[in-house]
Structure 1
Amino acid sequence: MITLEAVESFFPDRTVTVEERAAELELNEAQTHMFRRVHGLDRMQYDPDLSLYDLVLPAARKALSQVDPKSVRYLLYCHALHGGRSVGPEAAQNIKQQLGLENATAFALTQQNCAIALSAIDIAGTLLQADGDPDARVLVVTGDKPRHRAAQLVMNTCVVGDGAASALVSWNGSGAVVNSFVSKTRGEYSDGMMSSPALLRAESEMRPRLMVEVMREAADRAGCTLDDIQVVLAPNPNTTLWVDTIKDDALRSKFFFDNIPRYSHCLASDVLINYATLCEEKRFEPGRPAMFVAIGVGMTFSAMVFTPSSTTGGTWS
């Protein structure tokens, strides 16, 4: 089974309120009010002087701190931003070199936006199963450092903060066990934020049905139901998106939203950041299934059921 041996997150020291960040982005009073009162943002970490590597390497180093770096056979760098001006083709190799992972094969994953980390975990498991070495590991590194306003402010729906996360993945190792993974992409919506108003409306109408469909399929493959899930960890663009997507109040009450006002949306990293938060706060109930979900602009819908172990720790409350 795929296991999450360690998951760590990192944020820069500089904290700004949504009002301060809105002023930096030259938003008007109505937009600022919307982000706080409607979308549920409060504050976030943001440092304009931070480089991409300054952002992603600390969490990766923490995830590696208890293992022999030589055991890491693969490094998967996950990013949401596309194009050489945002993330260059050399990024994965640079991360590998700076971490000293001499034995690792490094490559990048993208195109699924907020859903990319879940696909990376699944790919990591496939690589480890094929490798056959029980001591081998994969390091999944996530994070983006947007430099352009269009990537920092997404369609008046989210303000992007600075945050990154890394996961150390093993096969039949210690930690949370991944029980199932389901992912579906609707290519007709591949224009994403550049879609026509009619296509955006169609996507909005389709989204609630397909998200719950993917969640139910993942639960079924894991041998449980959505009622059995203790907590759902999702990306943090805003609270409005999930209110519009998950219509059932009982199911939506399982979603972990505490990090939306704390950190806002951290590209490619939210689901792992949320996992690290629940580990730190000891809010997982060991042995009871939990779920990652993600909607990636494009449109990719993913759900992954996992079972926290006693080493994951905590009691959900």
Structure 2
Amino acid sequence: MLNGPLTLEAVESFFPDRSVTVEEQCDTLGLNPAQRHLFRKIHGLDVMRCDPGLDLYDLVLPAARGLLARTDPATIRYVVHARASQEVAPSTVDVAREFADRLGLSHATAFSLTDQNCASPLAAIDVVGELLRSEADPQARALVITGEKAFTRELKVFHNTFLAGDGAASCLVSRTGRGARIQSYVSETFGEFSDGMRMGSILNQRFADERPRIVREVLHKAVAQAGCSLDDIHLVLPTNPNVVLWDETARELGLPPGRIFTANVPRYSHCLSADLLINYVTLREEGRLEPGRKYLFFALGLGFTFAAMVFTEGEHQS
């Protein structure tokens, strides 16, 4: 639960130049024609950014550098890598510390946050909010970094549900900024589904049966905490596994077509931990984030964690 004022002061995203089609990625992964058809015709994927020659640092640091170019680095107290994968580098490498040092933020406290998979970015925003409230300086900021390389086949394609692409995003979080004002945060983890990718057919069916109820409960808790209703939410910004999941969710919630933003699924596919912030940047660049309107981040993380965060858009950040 949110315990005080918190703002997404600025958000940036980054993608490699190289693109591949769904069919090309399916061929690389050894998927069959039926799976290629599934991902394009049913799940709504088209192209994705994918550059095997790009390492983790090349992928995630450009967005963070873009943010630092227009703020005072000395105000950054925390650097957090919020990620979906438990391992993104050899165990001897402290990735978050390496990010901070390469960004010239050696003075900042750096750590990674995971175990909630693609819901980790919302948890990171909430955690740094608590840390910033402990700071005497009201101008103190945190840098939340998202993005990772899907380096195993298991991460690149999951149960005919998503194909992972390359994409990254970062945000500056503060207590006093002029950007998107966070108004609520709700997170629910259901440990009975903790096997995630390795769940058997019985648990998978149980999860499918219970998902609509869980989504409804989490969303209603988030909007109630923000002092509004689902009707007041202009757009839902979700993670991007596929279009089918969110079309079904919209129908289950009685939301009108287009209320859940899925246009980035065919553009980028699923960029693991970075989807939520990528969607924010896309909507901002398209002029679809209107000051004063309420929006909602919604993340589904394997394991399974459902997380929602309501925000009111403030002045647009360049």
| Same fold flag (TM > 0.5) | yes
> How far 1:135 sits from its partner (Å)?
1.0
SS in 1 for 2:134: helix
Superposed, 1:1-317 pairs within 5 Å as 1-83=5-87, 89-246=93-250, 247-250=252-255, 253-312=258-317
SS in 2 for 1:237: coil
| 8 Å CA contact retained: 2:239, 2:276 | yes
Superimposed CA distance per residue, residues 152-200 of structure 1 (whole angstroms, 9 cap, x where no aligned partner): 1111111100000000001121111000100010111101111111011
Inter-CA distance 223–133: structure 2 relative to 1 (3 Å threshold): same
Which moves more between the two structures, 146-155 or 72-81?
146-155
By how many angstroms is 1:84 displaced?
Answer: 6.2
> d(CA) in 2 for partners of 1:237 and 1:63?
27
Q: Calculate the aligned-residue CA RMSD, in Å.
A: 1.5
TM-score by length of 2: 0.95
* 2:234 aligned counterpart, secondary structure: coil
TM-score (ref. length: structure 1): 0.95
Question: Cα gap change, 1:255/1:91 in structure 2, threshold over 3 Å: closer, same or farther?
Answer: same
Q: How many residues align?
A: 313
Tell me the CA shift for residue 214 of structure 1.
Answer: 0.7
Deviation at 1:47, TM superposition (A): 0.3
Q: Is the 8 A contact 2:81 2:145 kept in 1?
A: yes
Q: Which runs of 5+ in 2 are unaligned?
A: none
Deviations 1:103-150 (A, max 9, x none): 210000001111010111111111111113111000000011011111
Using the TM superposition, give the Cα deviation of residue 248 of structure 1 relative to its aligned residue in structure 2, in angstroms: 3.1
Cα distance in 1 between the residues matched to 2:200 and 2:315: 48
SS in 1 for 2:209: helix
User: How much has 1:45 moved relative to structure 2?
Assistant: 0.3
Is the contact made by 1:290 and 1:307 (CA closer than 8 Å) also made in structure 2? yes
State, as a whole percentage, how many aligned pairs show the same letter: 51
Relative to 1, partners in 2 of residues 1:29 and 1:61: Cα closer, same or farther, differing over 3 Å? same
